[in-house]
Amino acid sequence: MKTIRILGMSCQHCVTSVLEALSSIKGIHDVRVDLEKGTATFEHNVPVDLEIIKQHIEDAGYELGQE
Ligand SMILES: [Cu+2]
């Protein structure tokens, strides 16, 4: 399981957007987003490129924070 920090989420709509953005990445599954902590966790069955995650997060309108 991997945990990443997401910046810019403020409501349930944001949670859904981030959830969909991460879930659309090949190899990532079981995504959970914690609005209060500003984090997302997921399982991955192949190594996942953090740059790809960053791109998807940014395309959804949020930022990948420092771990
Ligand atoms: Cu929102």
Residue 64 CB neighbours (<10 A):
19
- Spacing, Cα 50 to ligand 1 middle (Å): 23
DSSP 44: E
pLDDT grade for 66, boundaries at 50, 70 and 90: confident
What is the domain-level CATH number for residue 39? 3.30.70.100
Which structural domain, as residue segments, surrounds residue 8?
2-64
Identify the pLDDT of residue 12: 98
The answer to whether 66 and 13 have CB atoms below 8 angstroms apart is no
User: Model confidence over 16-39: pLDDT tens digits?
Assistant: 999 999 999 999 999 999 999 999
Among positive and negative, which fits the CA dihedral 22, 23, 24, 27? Answer: positive
- Spacing, Cα 46 to ligand 1 middle (Å): 30
Query: For residue 52, what are its two tokens?
Result: 């790809």
- Spacing, Cα 64 to ligand 1 middle (Å): 16
Identify the pLDDT of residue 53: 97
- Spacing, Cα 14 to ligand 1 middle (Å): 4
- The CA distance from 12 to 34, in Å, is 10
> For ligand 1, a single-atom ion, which residues have Cβ within 5 Å?
10-11, 13-14
Name the pTM for this structure. 0.93
- The CA distance from 45 to 64, in Å, is 21
